[in-house]
A and B are shown apart, each in its own frame.
Chain A
Amino acid sequence: MISALVNPLRFMAFSRWAAPALGALAAALIVVGIALGAAAPPDYQQGETVRIMFVHVPAAWTAMFAYAALGSASFVFLVFRVALADAAARAAAPLGAGFTLMALITGSLWGRPMWGAWWVWDARLTSVLVLFLLFVGYLALRAAIEEEQRAARAGAILALVGLVNLPVIKFSVDWWNTLHQGESIFRAGGPTIAAVYLWPLFVMGAGFLAAFGALWLVRIRAEVWRRRAAGLALQAAADA
């Protein structure tokens, strides 16, 4: 299936229906997730602020997924020279930056009432800030190099180097003493969060990932059109 999708024509045919389908799924999941989150009782320690978790954690998951997508697409582009993979990498970066910013701001809004601070230089927070800077750096690097192939190669190398930050984010709460709470969902021995909070969290997580998928497909389509327009303009200039 993947090898079929690297053909731009097949990708355009697939994404034509997949993007709106994923968008509709995302909207439905997010609406259900918000309703489930509203119905959950206040936490015995955190009170009403626990509801921030239903946007903060899915945003952080999606940001990390977006970087994994950027890194994987960059790898495919560098190794197999698939142009569509470079388009996918380029399309993932601004969305990843958006979701990372969402995780940082909602985390700050959660931290202030719980920790008494908007920001601390804690390993988890700092590594997520580094993730945001990697997305912004990737976009800046691509914009700074005029020749498209060179920009794509340089961006792909930066994206691959930055992949090392993903395990750092994941295990930061285990490797260092952090103010940020320890791993409580994807851990050996199962989640430590009550089911009444887990369900809205997973539904919102699925909704955010579906939203990323829908927007990513639309942005890849836009990138394919941009390249087609640029190619045709060059051809027209050469013919003239």
Chain B
Amino acid sequence: MHELARFGGRYALFVLGAYGVAALLFVVMIADTLARAARHRRNARRQDERR
């Protein structure tokens, strides 16, 4: 906890903001990638079953 508090300091808003933005963009990229993969996999399976 003490180590994590180092991320704060006088410019806490900027430091934590940067880590927050990075985390948010990672979440968006991971969610979009997994959702896309699941959708296309489902569609491919559905087409396979129709054959």
A binds B: yes
Q: Which secondary structure dominates chain B's binding surface?
A: helix
Contacts of B10 in A (CB 8 A): 47-48
Chain-B contact segment, one of A154-162, A172-180, A182-190, A217-225? A217-225
Contacts of A49 in B (CB 8 A): 11, 14-15
Query: How far, in Å, is A84 (CB) from chain B's closest CB?
Result: 15
Q: Which secondary structure dominates chain A's binding surface?
A: helix
Interface magnitude class on chain A: 35 or more
Q: Are B30 and A215 in contact (CB under 8 A)?
A: yes
Query: How far, in Å, is B49 (CB) from chain A's closest CB?
Result: 10
| Additional A-B contacts beyond A38-B7, A42-B9 (5; CB < 8 A) | A48-B15, A105-B21, A106-B18, A211-B26, A223-B40
Contacts of A98 in B (CB 8 A): 25, 28-29
Bound-state CA distance A211–B30 (Å) is: 9
User: Does any Cβ of B come within 8 Å of A56's Cβ?
Assistant: yes
The 8 Å CB contact of B44, one of A105, A110, A229, is A229
User: Chain A interface (Cβ within 8 Å of chain B)?
Assistant: 34-35, 38-39, 42, 47-49, 51-52, 55-56, 59, 94-95, 98-99, 101-102, 105-106, 109-110, 112-113, 211, 215, 218-219, 221-223, 225-226, 228-229, 232-233, 235-236
Contacts of A101 in B (CB 8 A): 25
Bound-state CA distance A168–B30 (Å) is: 30
Q: Which of B41, B44, B46 has the most CB of A within 10 A?
A: B44
Q: Are B6 and A225 in contact (CB under 8 A)?
A: no
Q: Mark B1-25, 1 if CB is under 8 A from A, else 0.
A: 0011011111110110111011001
Bound-state CA distance A47–B6 (Å) is: 10
Bound-state CA distance A35–B4 (Å) is: 8
Bound-state CA distance A110–B22 (Å) is: 13
Bound-state CA distance A219–B41 (Å) is: 11
Q: Are A229 and B43 in contact (CB under 8 A)?
A: yes
Query: How far, in Å, is B13 (CB) from chain A's closest CB?
Result: 9
Bound-state CA distance A51–B27 (Å) is: 21
Q: What are 25 pairs between A and B in contact, CB < 8 Å?
A: A38-B6, A39-B3, A47-B11, A48-B10, A51-B7, A52-B14, A55-B18, A55-B19, A55-B22, A98-B28, A101-B25, A109-B14, A109-B17, A112-B14, A113-B14, A222-B40, A226-B40, A226-B44, A228-B44, A229-B40, A229-B43, A229-B46, A232-B50, A235-B51, A236-B50
Given contacts A52-B15, A232-B48, contact A106 B3 (CB under 8 A): no
Given contacts A101-B25, A215-B29, contact A47 B9 (CB under 8 A): yes
